[in-house]
Amino acid sequence: MPLISVGLYPLGSCTMKHNPRLNEKLARLPGLGDIHPLQPLSTVQGALKLMDELAHWLKTLTGMPAVALSPKAGAHGELCGLMTIRAALDQRGEDRSIILAPDSAHGTNPASAALCGYKVKSIAVTDGGRVDLAALKAAIGPDVAAVMVTNPNTCGLFERDVIAIADAIHAAGGYFYCDGANFNAIVGKVRPGDLGVDAMHINLHKTFSTPHGGGGPGAGPVVLSDALAPFAPVPYVVHGDNGFELVEHRADDAGNCGRLTAFHGQMGMNIRALAFMMSHGADGLAQVAADSVLNANYIMASLKDVMTASFDGPCMHECLFDDRFLADTGVTTLDFAKALIDEGYHPMTMYFPLVVHGAMLIEPTESESKQSLDRFIGSLRHLVAEAKAGNGTLFSGAPYLAPLKRLDETLAARKPVLRWTESE
């Protein structure tokens, strides 16, 4: 049985850990698990209806009028959103070249902007872990195409100035891209469209329980505002005279951002996500957000007397600690995380976000019970006590109980061994 089925998985940021078996059963149903994208549309009407239903609920939950289902990952969704922004600016005859990305945003944001041909300008965060609104406003000018804000951000905090950020970029003629990787913290509670968002990708694995990791499969649908909806990529599902149809091209193709993938996106992920939505309903999804936030705050409140929380006040879906509690112990964040493996847990996210020194980012998600959380908290408190008692050997060689011991990471980076033989 996978570890994910029997214990808490504390990795933070944008990783969902709960993959219901119901989802897997539905994704394998005849007529869904064995269809092919080149089948005649008349033979896949149920699949097209499913895509249309998923699109409807994604638009409803976000308060956005359009959605593109084809992006195959969160970063692919970022690229999609930026391409629609570029297409909109091209139609206006404007050649803006700069994207603003706060230090609290996901690391893929500047990478996606650069891939789309933009220059990226970083915006500092305040001591409270949120976007420095004054610095952002000072950086906005006629050459800025968009601002990319992760909300809730990678510090596990909601950006309280989000509407002011949207107003500022819109006043300058730019667009507001929201990284929606952490939508699970606000789904059913807040509609990003009401906050002034123009484009936002949604990681189906994060908020709607589809599998993630190991290189895929992924899915990153992008919801779009009225201003960007005309530039959405093809294909997309419409109601035609003879049932559901796929729009593969449009009369105004010169104005939209074209096609992002060969076919229609990750159908298996669409099925799983819709199954999760339907099994929870509107009230259940709101409870997902509430429990995600509750569990993260329970961990933070239970540990902040022995570990150092990076920011004051409550967090959202994940809690962030730094390495100040390890001062003078000789134990590093890496040591602490490796020792957690011997406690039976995958390590939390380490050294991210970069705005916090020695960061330890923990996200329990909504699916963990209080009993599960208490066991995890107990393990962390035990490790803290051992570190402060000077038991350095517990950490320096950890993990001791895992099949693979600690690697020489410097040597592995400089002289990677990419092929294994039995003699080795």
Nearest to 237 by CA among 262, 265, 257: 265
pLDDT of residue 14: 65
Residue 134, domain extent: 20-278
Residue 362 sits at φ, ψ, to 5 deg, of -120, 125
Taking the chain (424 residues) in consecutive chunks of 10 residues, what is each chunk's mean pLDDT? Answer: 60 74 92 92 94 97 96 92 95 95 88 94 94 97 96 94 98 96 94 97 90 71 96 90 84 70 89 95 95 96 97 94 96 97 94 93 91 97 97 94 86 83 58
DSSP string, 200-214: EE--HHHHS-----T
pLDDT of residue 98: 97
Are residues 316 and 244 located together in one domain of the fold?
no
Give the CATH number, domain containing residue 293: 3.90.1150.10
- Tell whether 169 is covered by a domain: yes
Handedness of CA 22, 18, 68, 33 (dihedral sign): negative
Are residues 241 and 356 located together in one domain of the fold?
no
Are residues 260 and 290 located together in one domain of the fold?
no
- Tell whether 164 is covered by a domain: yes
pLDDT of residue 249: 77
Q: Is 63 left (phi over 0), alpha (psi -120 to 50) or beta?
A: left
Are residues 243 and 341 located together in one domain of the fold?
no
- Tell whether 416 is covered by a domain: no
Task: Give the three-class secondary structure for 75.
Answer: helix
- Tell whether 28 is covered by a domain: yes
Specify whether the CB–CB gap between 165 and 137 falls below 8 A.
no
Neighbours of 121 (CB within 10 A): 15
Q: Is 258 left (phi over 0), alpha (psi -120 to 50) or beta?
A: left
CA atoms within 13 Å, Cβ hemisphere of 80: 31
b (16+ CB within 10 A) / e for 365-399: bbbbeeeebebbbebbeebbebbeeeeeebbeebb
Beta strands in 117-166 (DSSP E): 119-123, 144-150
DSSP state of 198: S
Are residues 231 and 138 located together in one domain of the fold?
yes
pLDDT of residue 240: 85
Whole-model pTM?
0.91
pLDDT of residue 2: 38
- Tell whether 87 is covered by a domain: yes
pLDDT of residue 9: 86
Alpha-carbon distances of 64 from 15, 91, 92, 146, 236, rounded to whole Å: 24, 21, 22, 18, 16
Provide the number of structural domains found in the chain.
Answer: 2
Are residues 64 and 93 located together in one domain of the fold?
yes
